[in-house]
Amino acid sequence: MEKITIGVVGALGAVGTCMIRCIEESGLPVSKLIPLDVHENEGKTLRYRGSDVSVREAGKGSFQGIDIALFSAGAQASRTLAPVAVEEGCTVIDNSSEWRMKGGVPLVVPEVNPEALRRHRGIIANPNCSTIQMLVALKPLHDAFRIKRIVVSTYQAVSGTGQKAVKELEDQARQFVADREITKSVYPHRILFNCLPQIDDFLDSGYTKEEMKMVNETRKILGDRDIRVCPTAVRVPVFRGHSESINIETEKPLPPPSEIRQILRKAPGVSVIDDIENKKYPMPVDCVGKGDTFVGRIRSDPTVENGLSLWVVADNLMKGAALNAVQIAELLCEKGLIKGET
């Protein structure tokens, strides 16, 4: 494969840092990595393959010579800079919510809808973390039994909010242990030893934007307008690793859980941990730094025709963000699709 120059926008953030680790460990034929970030971070250095690399300011002209840029600097940066990057000949893989639902922008989970990449016009969107792990786990079941409805409740880690939120939870833990007042600035309420049934802003419907991402992105990625998703997104005091309690109803009859496990064991990106006799099931602390989506607690739901419940955990910074973006970059390289279908 031809060597590429890769850029990472938001290189010093929680996801950006993880993206650089994922690039190092990937099979990407990288000749050069260019970390980009906001003006304030210009000149800071980060480690890449054993060397210090300086951060450049992201802006007009900074994407010249970059083949693929991974964006994770928030929706605002993606809105203004992704078109600039495309203009300068760069293909953008964007981790923000900015471009996900736009026409002509493929929204891709490599295990689920790699074919969507062919239609890109310079910007490819990385889905929401909660959506990615849900669909990696459910796609094989959707293919086999056609999922009609999903009821999902999430248990989401603070790193999904960013490094400031990670620090806030750490600080609150220190304050608790020192018996000091617990302060907050990132979340509207204390997160330590608490559950916040709000992620992102509320919409008039009573659902949050995070919840509607799970509804709308699922439909776009699966290419199925009829699939119904009812989500409840909840922030829990966990640093890293989103968990999801998922209940599905399928069109076709479901086999016993043992056969479901067999199907999932063969699925790409899925790791089944479902040995209840030995108290083994997926947990956030066990998934940190791993690329797979972990599935357990697989059991029939007798309260509905063709019902199944399962528990899905993944590292929200890895498969939920950085790794998925790097896997998209790998696919672009492998398939010769960096510049789109020629």
SS3 label, residue 260: helix
Nearer to a second copy, 11 or 238 (CB): 238
Q: Exposure pattern of 155-169 as b/e (b: 16+ CB <10 Å)?
A: bbbbbbbbbebbebb
Of residues 18, 90, 120, 242, which has the active-site annotation? 242
- The contact mask relative to a second copy for 79-118 (x = CB under 8 A, - = no) is ----------------------------------------
* Interface with a second copy, residue 32, by CB under 8 A: no
Amino acid (1-letter code) at residue 238: V
d(CA 182, CA 168): 10
Q: Does 57 bind a second copy (CB under 8 A)?
A: no
Do the Cβ atoms of 69 and 328 come closer than 8 Å? no
- Alpha carbon distance 73, 15 (integer Å): 9
Clarify whether 39 is annotated catalytic: no
Instruction: Provide the minimum distance between the beta carbon of 31 and a second copy in the complex, in angstroms, as a whole number.
Output: 39
By beta-carbon proximity to a second copy, the closer residue of 50 and 177 is 177
CB contact set of 193 (below 8 Å; sequence gap of 6+): 176, 237
- Can you tell me the distance from the alpha carbon of 144 to that of 137, in angstroms, rounded to the nearest whole number? 13
Q: Residue 181, interface with a second copy (CB under 8 A)?
A: no
Q: For 209, what's the count of Cα atoms within 13 Å in the CB-facing half-sphere?
A: 8
Residue in 45, 64, 80, 194 binding a second copy, rule: CB under 8 A: 194
Site for a second copy in 111-150 (CB under 8 A): 149
Catalytic residues: 129, 242
The binding site for a second copy (CB under 8 A) comprises: 149, 151, 153, 155, 169, 173-174, 176-177, 188-190, 193-198, 202, 205-207, 228-230, 232, 234, 236-239, 243, 245, 247, 257, 276-277, 279, 281-285, 296-304, 307, 309, 311, 313
